[in-house]
Structure 1
Amino acid sequence: MSGINWTALIILIALFGLVTVMGFMATRWRRPTDMESLDEWGLGGRSFGTWITWFLLGGDLYTAYTFVAVPAAMFALGSVAGFFAVPYTIVLYPIIFIFMSRLWSVSHRHGYVTTADFVRGRYDSRPLSLAVAVTGFLATMPYIALQLVGIQAVLEVVGLGGGSNWLVKDAPLFIAFALLAAYTYSSGLRAPAVIAFVKDTLIYLVIIVAVIYLPSKVGGWDAIFGAAEEKMTTPNPTTGKVPGAFVPGSEQMWAYATLALGSALALFMYPHSITASLSSNSRNTIRRNASILPAYSFVLGLLALLGWVAIAAGTQPIGLDGEPNAQLVIPQLFEDMFPSWFAGVAFAAIAIGALVPAAIMSIAAANTFTRNIYKEWIKPNATPKEEAKVSKLVSLVVKGFALIFVLALDKQNAINFQLLGGIWILQTFPAIVFGLYTRWFHRWALLVGWAVGMVYGTVTAYNVVNPATGNHFGGSLASIPGIAQMGYIAMTAFVINLVIAAVLSLVFNAMKVSNGHDETIKGDYFADAGDPRVEKLDVGPHETTASP
């Protein structure tokens, strides 16, 4: 096994082993008398305070793939493809501050575990609830797979993954998957909550050291920006086109703006984002986190610039197959520029950074399936204990699917499907967020708008062809109808969705078509911890928890 960086590998294994032990021990942390319910296994007892929630949300939203893909995009394509992630996370937090506390209140008031639970109660519509649930479930699948892609990138750079025997080549990934599956099954959401402390500490340490140490090794920031500008403005001798943009031009403004806004609107529609939020112990915990989470945006900005540091350093991200792979640029930069022992710490930060979001995502997807498909459509009389059992099993299936996805498909396909997931999940925004404030939108209008947005977004994304490979789903940008500018497909689909929902709502409301029974009341959206109406009772997802 020549070519293995043994020092880095040993440190990676040691830190990975540490968090694995922590994952299994998490079942004893704040352990309730009974873990056999979605409230306890899937939401951590809804008891996490400000700092635990902050680490959990940070570990959930800033994934291993974030730390691999954002600088890789900066390295290969420039600021439009990579740096938009920084303003979108800044735009995101005021949005969370405004609506997420309302979702927390009504969810705790009625025992909702998922956004589809809320939609079911608010609109009295099983089809609309199913649409939200299926969308969230499907959009999460490739996202989980990409966490394994992040682990795989680290293993490849450290020297593992070579050879023709597929079992030997993928054995490390199998082991990581098995450990993740085991402690998630036993500890539920408590496992990623505990591990998130280690993950974020390592991430902050590595990035701060990197942005201080690495520029001094490549001539300073002036040399870094100069090298990036030269690369992004020099035409490719084969195609005659520049590889990307150093600073977005006027023709790229729509792409940059719609990517940032659309991503901000979509991120907290994902089931794992909602799960991490609903695990907090009060609505004010959500608001405090919306105020302090921008600290992660600062780190993300520094991380993005490491893609340009790699240009100045002359980093060559070549996979074990001998082919260039931009996704390896940050692990390769760390191995080239850091001592082996610190490279091992950096690799561990990325690998552990995959475990936290992968665990939360699998739990969230399992909760969505159990509550909104299994209980709603297959076995309505399922007990809380049975719900927890089904959710645990589904979490294993979800991770197994992600593993197969990574091993069987080309990595670029995994990336493309994750982009498609972002297009899909944004189409649930009107039913969820607008529903927190008004029932003016009609349930059938929302369903039709969702369906049209899904079809338009999927077809348009399919028609985007990667010029290098000829594959469909080759990107997330397409011409915006009416203004002939390139923009984020998800935002165009969202606008179409919203217009259709608004127009049909006018029609259905004028015709006095029934909009179902709303089981919530105004006060539900302001309830907080300690409110006598917020009680943990063994009730179904759509029964009131009001005190008599």
Structure 2
Amino acid sequence: MIVVTFALVLVLALVAGLWSRRGASGSIGDFLVGSRSFGGLLVFVLAVGEVYSIGTLIGFPGGLYAEGASYGVWFIGYILVAYPLGYWFAPYLWRAGKLYGAMTLPDAAGRHFRSRGLERVLAVSFVVFLIPWGQLQLTGLQVAMVGLGIDLDPTAAVLAGAGLALLFLMLSGVRAPAFVSFVKDICLVLAAVLVGLAAVGRSGGLQELFARAENGDTVTAASHFTVTGSALSFAVTTIVFQAVGFYVFPFVAQAVFAARSEATIKKSVRWMPLYMLMYPFLVAAAFAATSLVPGLSGAESNQALLALSRTVLPDWLTGVVAGGAALCAVVVLCGSALGIGSMVSRNLLPNVPEHRQRGWVRGVIVLYMGVSLLLTLVTPQLMLTLVNTAYYGITQAAPLFLAMVFGWRLRASALATGLVVGEVLVLWLYTDSSGAVSSWLDGHGINLGLAALVVNIAVVAASRVFWPATVAVRGLRSYRQAELRENAPEVSTEPPSPRAAVAGEDRR
């Protein structure tokens, strides 16, 4: 029965993917950003679909199970802080897309600062640090398949999931994950609520649930409920760091670029916090799992939610939970693959004409899927580690986009230097975990990415003193709506000529 309902969920998703082809024009602009025609509801489900990934339904309960309350504090906290930041920042991001005919973040940054070098550096950075995000989705998909409890080869299941994501993208580009997200989000919320309620019922109420978790075995020690000292510091610094980087993720930006107006973006972001209502149910499920399915350690903790589902729910509902988890992985994998494909074809490869860009995007997507599959099968990890790894590098681009919004007088080369310094530093700190600097930061509960971001900002700030720009670049917030309509091109694929957004050349 599990397989029947699981298959039904996937069939509904496939129908939604096929339906997405209606109205698609076949142009590269439609393939990547939906011709900037998405209304509020479609932007809402696409953006939410990319935000609430497999990490939400499987990684979050698994992290709580393995790491305790401190993990829950930062995971929930950074999303809550990110939404008000996004309400302010996302419209400016859409404005950059409209002004420059941009379909990727490197498009927008490179054209704003009139720097091909900055565009390429940013594209390489995003491609490298999005690889763990693809691995995260496929690792979660593998967990979901194992959680079905049937004799199914996880490798074959992961290959099938990657194939399904590839099929969706080939159908209609960004439109497919947007339409599939309707099915995915219904299953996601339903799964969280059902498992949470069933866990509370099986445990004899909330009070008994948490009491049993606190007094359980060594995996569920009382320290799981205590967030003090370095654990609290780490939670706070991670909340700040990841909230800043939330809307800098390339696939979130593509959802923003697909909207038809700034008002559409604000309307969508305003309602996104409603999805946070499912987290209390996931918290209850995670702590119930510590007593109802004890003994999971390391990467096995990723199995916590699905193992609990098989314990407290009938088989047909477990199929819905597993189907929702699988679609979470597939939809977000679509977003990250499309983001990488578009950045390679538009920002890294030289002079690819419009009629060939779609083919290049598809080719790069296939390659990205292959790399993610290989990493998933060879180096399985605790999913929360993959979440952190992706944020470490991508958030380093935040100063660059703030400079675009406020029109700070900075050289493109200085912004690129700060970005590279921050990313090299965070990679060094991450790989040299036993070194003196890493140990000090870990002992004081400071997120490695935030420490690197501070150095990144210091490098950029120093450039204003020792290497000032010779010309000013107009900030995005200074534009009026009438100017946007007058200066903005339609969705384009060729580099635009200089326009009013830039006052002059950034001479380096």
Superposition TM-score, scaled by structure 1 size: 0.84
1:111-166 deviations in Å (ceiling 9; x for gaps):
0111111221222222222221111111111111211111111111213566xxxx
2:302 is matched with which residue? 327
1:92 is matched with which residue? 82
Match for residue 372 of structure 1 among 342, 347, 353: 347
Give runs of aligned pairs for residues 128-207 of structure 1, distance below 5 A: 128-160=118-150, 170-207=155-192
2:462 is matched with which residue? 503
1:538 CA drift (Å)? 4.5
| Aligned residue type for 2:146 | E
1:545 CA drift (Å)? 8.1
The whole-number CA distance in structure 1 between the counterparts of 2:336 and 2:290 is 33
2:13 is matched with which residue? 19
1:228-267 deviations in Å (ceiling 9; x for gaps):
3335xx767xxxx968531311342211101111111122
Is the CA contact 2:244–2:398 (under 8 Å) kept in the aligned structure 1?
yes
1:287-332 deviations in Å (ceiling 9; x for gaps):
12221111122223432332112124245558xxxx9710000011
1:157-195 deviations in Å (ceiling 9; x for gaps):
213566xxxxx5522222222222122122111111111
1:82 CA drift (Å)? 2.8
The whole-number CA distance in structure 1 between the counterparts of 2:228 and 2:321 is 34
The whole-number CA distance in structure 2 between the counterparts of 1:522 and 1:259 is 28
1:60-88 deviations in Å (ceiling 9; x for gaps):
00001221111111111111123311111
1:389 is matched with which residue? 359
Match for residue 230 of structure 1 among 207, 211, 215: 215
Is the CA contact 2:93–2:256 (under 8 Å) kept in the aligned structure 1?
no
2:406 is matched with which residue? 437
Inter-CA distance 388–90: structure 2 relative to 1 (3 Å threshold): same
Query: Cα RMSD over matched residues?
Result: 2.7
| Aligned residue type for 2:485 | D
Match for residue 409 of structure 1 among 374, 379, 404: 379
Is the CA contact 2:102–2:492 (under 8 Å) kept in the aligned structure 1?
no
1:109 is matched with which residue? 99
When you count helix as a share of all residues, which structure comes out higher?
Answer: 2
In the alignment, does 2:27 pair up with 1:36?
yes
In the alignment, does 2:226 pair up with 1:271?
no
2:110 is matched with which residue? 120
1:407 CA drift (Å)? 1.7
* SS, match of residue 486 in structure 1: coil
* SS, match of residue 191 in structure 1: helix
* Count of matched residue pairs: 499
2:321 is matched with which residue? 346
1:420 CA drift (Å)? 2.2
1:205 CA drift (Å)? 1.7
The whole-number CA distance in structure 1 between the counterparts of 2:189 and 2:482 is 33
1:4 is matched with which residue? none
The whole-number CA distance in structure 2 between the counterparts of 1:90 and 1:417 is 20
Is the CA contact 1:71–1:307 (under 8 Å) kept in the aligned structure 2?
yes
1:528 CA drift (Å)? 7.8
Inter-CA distance 408–252: structure 2 relative to 1 (3 Å threshold): closer
Inter-CA distance 124–31: structure 2 relative to 1 (3 Å threshold): closer
Is the CA contact 1:317–1:332 (under 8 Å) kept in the aligned structure 2?
no
Superposition TM-score, scaled by structure 2 size: 0.91
1:521 CA drift (Å)? 6.9
Is the CA contact 1:65–1:149 (under 8 Å) kept in the aligned structure 2?
no
The whole-number CA distance in structure 2 between the counterparts of 1:418 and 1:297 is 18
The whole-number CA distance in structure 2 between the counterparts of 1:268 and 1:191 is 21
The whole-number CA distance in structure 2 between the counterparts of 1:457 and 1:103 is 26
Is the CA contact 1:539–1:545 (under 8 Å) kept in the aligned structure 2?
no
Greater shift, 362-371 or 297-306, is seen at: 297-306
The whole-number CA distance in structure 1 between the counterparts of 2:240 and 2:230 is 17
Is the CA contact 1:56–1:193 (under 8 Å) kept in the aligned structure 2?
yes
2:388 is matched with which residue? 419
Match for residue 531 of structure 1 among 477, 485, 492: 485
Q: Sequence identity of aligned pairs in percent?
A: 20
Greater shift, 219-228 or 91-100, is seen at: 219-228
The whole-number CA distance in structure 2 between the counterparts of 1:150 and 1:324 is 11
Is the CA contact 1:52–1:193 (under 8 Å) kept in the aligned structure 2?
yes
| Aligned residue type for 1:283 | E
| Aligned residue type for 1:224 | L
1:40-70 deviations in Å (ceiling 9; x for gaps):
0011121111111111111100001221111
Structure 2 spans left out of the alignment, 5+ residues: 501-508
Inter-CA distance 539–43: structure 2 relative to 1 (3 Å threshold): closer
2:504 is matched with which residue? none
2:335 is matched with which residue? 360
In the alignment, does 2:445 pair up with 1:480?
no
1:271 CA drift (Å)? 0.7
1:461 is matched with which residue? 430
Is the CA contact 1:211–1:302 (under 8 Å) kept in the aligned structure 2?
yes
Is the CA contact 2:99–2:484 (under 8 Å) kept in the aligned structure 1?
no
